[in-house]
Structure 1
């Protein structure tokens, strides 16, 4: 069964104390035995990696190779990518915008694969009582968003599509979706940017409405990322990971109700909400081709044009050159 591990520091300390104690008590060959390898995976709520965790399939596939699996949950992509860049985890997933911001910050992360487009999984949410009928009506308003969120990119391009600019609104930066929704409900902001499953949950709340999703504006892809050093040394391991991911993704695409039932107790989110979010998503991972790279380049150029990324970057430089898909 999968489990949520202790913090890296606590695990390091307790692991080190146990190893020292064992070295004193056990005979020579056992005392110096190599520990099992552990694959450390970062994930966020509601994703194919989250489904893979719930299935236990990866542990079964890697056990014969002497590889354990540890899972680390993150509130959003920027936090996950920070952990990846510091070596606290080996691989994980993040949306399009956090991935670009990580590259812009010089973090040593590389793209391994991408999911299919998921434009309805991001949105701009408002209160019905504020009578905001369209994106153009956000001019002069406060909008809660996060730095480097996929939904922040939606906000930027939705404003452009409505004939406005990012400077026409006042961004209220928050660290997580819960804070964003709380700000909206209190009236301290007039709109929030959200992603599934938080978007699906907001859509079910009385008095809230999705003003604009990503359709026609953003493909809102999820990317699978690692470091080049880890990928170079563990290509076979990554291929096993993506093989098991493909199996659960195929199942998830066909059984959104069962996905919801599987994840609801893990995430503390209603199965009805998760089913809505799952029905509008395609979990299958694909290789990163020129079209997907161009999408990411457009996103990077947009943020750079807004001054949110300090200088131009070449997204292709961060695409891992060798396929690790099965």
Structure 2
């Protein structure tokens, strides 16, 4: 063997060695590194809404498959139950309204807000029967008003009353779940009902309910997507993909309102004519969590503390996502 051949062989060996080392370094810093590719299951807790639509399409499973992440789905009847499941470590991701996260954080849940819808103030309102003499917010003074205690509409009513010069004690609240409140509304055993869609739309369509005020200019009425602090910190790539897929559902819904109403009507067991009303006034959009959005949640927390609904002052920023700017 010549000296020239030996040198060529050594150069080839060195080239291969450097290439292998570079590949190893690249793999270690790749978004699909071994640690991230370790198989695990994303456990989603869903209510009957956009997460159900996402589940039905199967696109999330396809997006997560290259990361060796599978998905399990558990349906819940309401946000508070979802958040309790998060608190005990049974789920990693879910969807919820404005109020339940306040109570969950107050109870010590390791909550992380990871995305929010745009404000949807037109989707909740104060309703009165068609024959009612109540014509304005001022006319609510001294009246019996039904609402779900500690809910987004509870906060909405407090803010609405203050905006019109009334105090919380100026009205007589009757705390009822939506189904019971509707029954009381039909019997005229209450004077007004503060409620959200699709119950709001159903009352308009089937009972002829009149709107005294919706939440426009009063509160935001957002929905939120949440995770645990640990899951959001350890799996930001998974969270990004889930939110991206939800944005696609949102964009599709905005462009296909009639089909969205059909799917939601079947999901909710509600007449499509009712869901059409709710969908037509719905605002569409999913966005990152910002300090301004958490500031809105802080106002809710402060109000609930004033009302004695939560025992201590709450710092909502402690539930900020790990990547909050």
Q: TM-score range by the shorter chain?
A: 0.7 to 0.9
Is structure 2 residue 310 aligned with structure 1 residue 309? yes
CA drift at 1:63? 4.1
Q: Per the alignment, in what secondary structure is the counterpart of residue 110 of structure 1? A: strand
Q: Deviations over 1:139-196 (max 9, x none)?
A: 222222223211111111111122212222222223x322221222223322222112
The CA distance in 2 between the partners of 1:147 and 1:285, in whole Å, is: 27
**Native 8 Å contact 1:96 1:296 kept in 2:** yes
- Taking a change above 3 Å as real, the CA distance of residues 70 and 170 of structure 1, as seen in their structure-2 partners, is farther
Q: Per the alignment, in what secondary structure is the counterpart of residue 94 of structure 2? A: strand
The CA distance in 2 between the partners of 1:147 and 1:257, in whole Å, is: 33
The CA distance in 2 between the partners of 1:179 and 1:319, in whole Å, is: 35
Q: CA RMSD in A?
A: 2.3
Residue 158 of structure 1: aligned partner: 160
Residue 109 of structure 1: aligned partner: 111
Residue 33 of structure 1: aligned partner: none
Q: Which has the higher Rg, Structure 1 or Structure 2?
A: 2
- Stretches of structure 1 that go unaligned for 5 or more consecutive residues are 1-35
Residue 42 of structure 2: aligned partner: 39
The CA distance in 1 between the partners of 2:141 and 2:81, in whole Å, is: 30
**Native 8 Å contact 1:129 1:207 kept in 2:** no
Residue 71 of structure 2: aligned partner: 69
Number of equivalenced pairs: 288
Map 1:137-156 to 2 at 5 A.
137-156=139-158
CA drift at 1:230? 2.0
Residue 191 of structure 2: aligned partner: 190
Map 1:253-292 to 2 at 5 A.
253-292=254-293
**Native 8 Å contact 1:145 1:180 kept in 2:** yes
Q: Deviations over 1:41-99 (max 9, x none)?
A: 223334x3233233332233334545443333333322322222222322111112222
Q: Deviations over 1:274-316 (max 9, x none)?
A: 2322232233221111221222222222222223232222211
Q: Per the alignment, in what secondary structure is the counterpart of residue 126 of structure 2? A: strand
The CA distance in 2 between the partners of 1:165 and 1:77, in whole Å, is: 28
Map 1:1-326 to 2 at 5 A.
37-46=40-49, 48-174=50-176, 176-322=177-323
- Taking a change above 3 Å as real, the CA distance of residues 273 and 68 of structure 1, as seen in their structure-2 partners, is farther
Residue 22 of structure 2: aligned partner: none
Q: Scaled by the length of structure 1, what TM-score is found?
A: 0.80
- Stretches of structure 2 that go unaligned for 5 or more consecutive residues are 1-38
**Native 8 Å contact 1:93 1:225 kept in 2:** yes
The CA distance in 2 between the partners of 1:118 and 1:288, in whole Å, is: 16
Q: Per the alignment, in what secondary structure is the counterpart of residue 230 of structure 2? A: helix
**Native 8 Å contact 2:44 2:94 kept in 1:** yes
**Native 8 Å contact 1:78 1:148 kept in 2:** no
Q: Per the alignment, in what secondary structure is the counterpart of residue 158 of structure 1? A: helix
Q: Which runs of 4+ in 1 moved over 6 A?
A: none
- Taking a change above 3 Å as real, the CA distance of residues 184 and 294 of structure 1, as seen in their structure-2 partners, is same
CA drift at 1:221? 0.9
Report which stretch shifted further, 152-161 or 192-201: 192-201
The CA distance in 1 between the partners of 2:105 and 2:233, in whole Å, is: 19
Residue 21 of structure 2: aligned partner: none
CA drift at 1:264? 1.8
